Amino acid sequence: MEQDSLMCKNCDFSKEIYPFITGLILTLAITNILKYALRVERPSTYKGGRDRYSFPSGHSSTVTFIFLYIFLTSPSIITFHLMFFMWYRVAYGSYSEGYHRINEVIAGTIIGGTVAVWIKSTN
């Protein structure tokens, strides 16, 4: 059956759901294992919350995985600009609002990007 969406013609997204979920779980697992193994305290600008540890950034790793996976599944200039804008808002927001230091955001981005590329290359 031919599927026609805004960003991808002839895409069968049902084949993508299990690798996507697997990659998302792997991204979250790697991020949380590192967070609790390294136990890097949040910056002094952090305004509270239940999560004390900040390295690597969970928001950055998660959004990078999601957005890069979507782009690799449905590459187009529209997808790229949409995904990049949303990634930038979340990743930079984590830094600019004091939840993370820049190295934590970069580490999260590397984790999410690596998992997305690996999952897509094995799918």
What is the per-residue pLDDT across 17-65, written as a single tens digit (0 to 9) for each? 889 999 999 999 999 999 889 877 776 666 666 677 778 888 889 999 9
Whole-angstrom CA distances from 47 to 13, 16, 54, 59 are 39, 38, 13, 16
Q: State which amino acid sits at residue 54.
A: S
Task: Answer yes or no: are the C-beta atoms of 38 and 57 closer than 8 Å.
Answer: no
Q: Can you say how many angstroms the Cα of residue 32 is from the centroid of all Cα atoms in its chain?
A: 13
14 pLDDT tier (thresholds 50, 70, 90): low
> Which of the residue ranges 5-19, 53-67, 85-99 has the most confident prediction, judged by mean pLDDT?
53-67
Where do the H-state alpha helices sit in the chain? 17-38, 58-73, 77-96, 102-122
Q: Which residues contact 88 (CB under 8 A, 6 or more apart)?
A: none
Query: What does the pLDDT look like over 20-32, one tens digit per residue?
Result: 999 999 999 999 9
Q: Report whether pLDDT(12) > 90.
A: no
pLDDT of residue 62: 92
Q: Which residue has the higher pLDDT, 25 or 70?
A: 25
